[in-house]
Every structure is written in C-alpha cells, then in structure tokens.
Amino acid sequence: MDIQVRVWRQSGPADRGRMVGYDVKDISPDASFLEMIDVLNEKLILDGDDPIAFDHDCREGICGACSMVINGVAHGPEKATTTCQLHMRHFKDGDVIDVEPWRAAAFPVIKDLVVDRSAFDQIIQAGGYISAPTGTAPDAHATPVPKKDADAAFEAATCIGCGACVAACPNGSSMLFTAAKVTHLGLMPQGQPERDSRVIDMLQAQDDAGFGGCTNMGECAEVCPKGIPLSLIGRLNSDYRKAIAKS
C-alpha cells in the first residue's frame, strides 16, 4: 500500500520544529507502524537525509518506549495497542497519517518524536517503591494476599509507563500513571508502610514536574495500551485525602 506520513521534525530541543510530509510506497499491510518508519528511514538515509528519531525497544508491547501520537491519538487508532503493535492494515491505501510526539511541558522533545520522559522517573523515585529487607528472599506465599486485591494490584501493575495518558489528557496530567502506581503498591500488604507518604510524595513530584490536574474526562483510559481503568484515579484521590488528613 502507498501512504503519506506527515511527521514532526525537530532537530533538537532548541529547534522550533515542523510537520514534514513523506511518501511511503509499497508498504506491506502486515508491517507494523514502526517498521513502516524503519522503511522510510532507510530511504531517508540513502537519500542523504536525517532519519526520523523515535523511541522503541521491545517492539512487543511491553516496554512502553514507543511513543507516537498518530492522527491525534496516542498510540494510534487501535484500542489497547501500543504503536509497535499497530499494523498498517488498520490504515487504507492513500491515507495521509500525521505523526507527532507526546506533547507535554514535562516531556520536552529531544529530537523529532523522541521526548524526555524522566519526569515519570521522578514520580517513581518520590514513592514508587516498597521497603524490603535484604538477605534471603521470603517465601512468596509468606504474606497471604486476598485474590481480589492481588488481581486488582496486578491490573494496575500492567502500566508500562509509556506516557500515553499524559499525551492524550487535555490537561497534560499524569494522574492515571500515578494512580496506577499508587494502586499497585497500595493494595499489597508489602506496600502499607509507605502508603501515606507514597501518595503525598508522588503527587508532589507530579505537580512539581509541571503536569496538569485531572478533570475526569477519561481521555487517558481511552488510549491506555494496557487498559488501566479511569476509576483508579478515584482511589488515588481518596488515598491522598486520607493521607493528608493524617499528616
């Protein structure tokens, strides 16, 4: 199939950047979106042009590196699918496809489609951990966890930290990400000692990094490749309120 992509090109943080159109011919419908960009990049290199910089790693939907807003939707048109798992068969011959980086003050563009997501690391560093004694690992079943909690914690733990929630949010908020982490750890017995300080510190780190506040629109959950539910934000809000009341 033949398509045209219009890609955000920005040579570095100081460059203003612009959308540039490229024709991509004879692309297999079975190619992934990233493979399509690979093919385009090979051509750009042969032509002596600068290839398009983009983040990718596992290419199997588990690392969260790939980050593209495709036709205005983070990770493109397929629900619960990362860009690397999106295939060209979901587009039509002759389509014009716009590709942009995640847009957020807290995720500054490094080059083209690559953004700096270390703001998420700051949020994790602020409280996304548990304290565990070193030495012999305890038996996995030493601390019983109710099945319901284990399942809910696991669902939240599937967050791969890709940042699509921020890219989609009209307020540039990372509330779904933070909610997933706070839920994942706060549901487990091992996560109780830091439960209060975790939610306070992680929210502080999120606000400090320049993310917006949540207005419960639900854009984040729509684009989340892991289907993290919007309702977790309610849990974050309630944990935060209780923690503040105690502090």
Residue type at position 67: S
Using CB under 8 A as the binding rule, the residues of this chain from 196 to 235 that contact other proteins are 203-219, 222, 229-235
Q: Phi first, then psi: give them for residue 169, nearest 5 degrees.
A: -65, 130
Please, which residues have CB within 8 angstroms of residue 215's CB and are 6 or more apart in sequence?
170, 171, 173
Q: Which of 15, 57, 151, 208 binds ligand FES (CB under 6 A)?
A: 57
The region of 39-47, 102-110, 140-148, 156-164 touching other proteins under the rule CB under 8 A is 102-110
User: Could you say whether residue 80 binds ligand FES (CB under 6 A)?
Assistant: no
User: What is the spatial distance between Cα 32 and Cα 12, in angstroms, rounded to a whole number?
Assistant: 26
Please, which residues have CB within 8 angstroms of residue 51's CB and are 6 or more apart in sequence?
41, 44, 45
Compute how many other C-beta atoms are within 10 angstroms of the C-beta atom of residue 4.
14
In whole angstroms, the minimum distance from the beta carbon of 235 to ligand HEM comes to 15
Residue 186, token pair as written in the block: 């706060």
Residue nearest to ligand HEM (CB): 215
Total residues contacting other proteins by CB under 8 A comes to 60
Give residues in contact with other proteins (CB under 8 A): 6, 8, 13, 19, 69, 71-73, 98, 100, 103-106, 108, 110, 116, 118-119, 121-122, 125-126, 168, 170-173, 175, 203-219, 222, 229-238, 240-241, 244
